[in-house]
Homo-oligomer: A and B are copies of this chain.
Amino acid sequence: MTIRISDVAARAAVSTATVSHVINNTRKVTEETKEKVWQAIQELGYSPNVSARNLKTGRTRMIGLIIPDISNLFFAMVARQIENILGKQDYNLIIMNSDENLSKEISHIQHITSGLVDGLIIASAAQDYAQLDNHIPANFPCVFFDRRLIGNPHESVLVSSDVAMQQGVSALLSRGHKRIGYIAGLQGISTTEDRLQSFKNALQNLDAEFDPRLVQYGNSIDSTTFASIGALIKEKCTAIVVSNNLMSAQAVYKLASMGLKVGEDVDLLTYKDYEYYSYDLTQCDMIVQPINQLGGIIGNGILDRIQRDDVMAREIVLVSSFQPRLLNP
Most buried by B among A47, A49, A51, A137: A51
Enumerate A48-86 residues with CB–CB distance to B below 8 Å: 48-52, 54-55, 60, 69-71, 73, 76-77, 79-80, 83
Cβ of A115 within 8 Å of any chain B Cβ, yes or no, is yes
Cβ-defined contact, A79 with B83, below 8 A: no
Which segment, of A89-97, A154-162, A199-207, A304-312, faces chain B?
A89-97
Which residues of the partner chain B approach A217 to less than 8 Å between Cβ atoms? none
Measured between beta carbons, the chain B residues less than 8 angstroms from A48 are 114
User: Which of chain B's residues has its CB closest to A69's CB?
Assistant: B80
Asked whether any CB of chain B lies closer than 8 Å to the CB of A249, the reply is: yes
Query: Is the beta-carbon distance between B114 and A50 smaller than 8 angstroms?
Result: yes
* A328 beta carbon closer than 8 Å to chain B: no
Complex partner residue of A51 from B54, B83, B276, CB under 8 angstroms:
B54
Contacts A76-B76, A277-B246 known; A111 to B223 CB distance under 8 Å? no
Contact A71 B250 (CB under 8 A): no
Segment 80-125 of A: residues with Cβ below 8 Å from B: 80, 83, 92-97, 108, 110-116
- 19 further A-B contacts with Cβ under 8 Å, apart from A49-B55, A52-B55, A80-B97, are A45-B134, A50-B114, A50-B115, A51-B52, A51-B60, A51-B115, A55-B55, A70-B76, A71-B76, A71-B274, A76-B76, A93-B96, A95-B95, A220-B276, A221-B276, A246-B277, A249-B277, A257-B283, A279-B279
Spell out A's residues near B (CB within 8 Å): 45, 47-52, 54-55, 60, 69-71, 73, 76-77, 79-80, 83, 92-97, 108, 110-116, 134, 137, 220-223, 246, 249-250, 252-253, 256-257, 274, 276-283
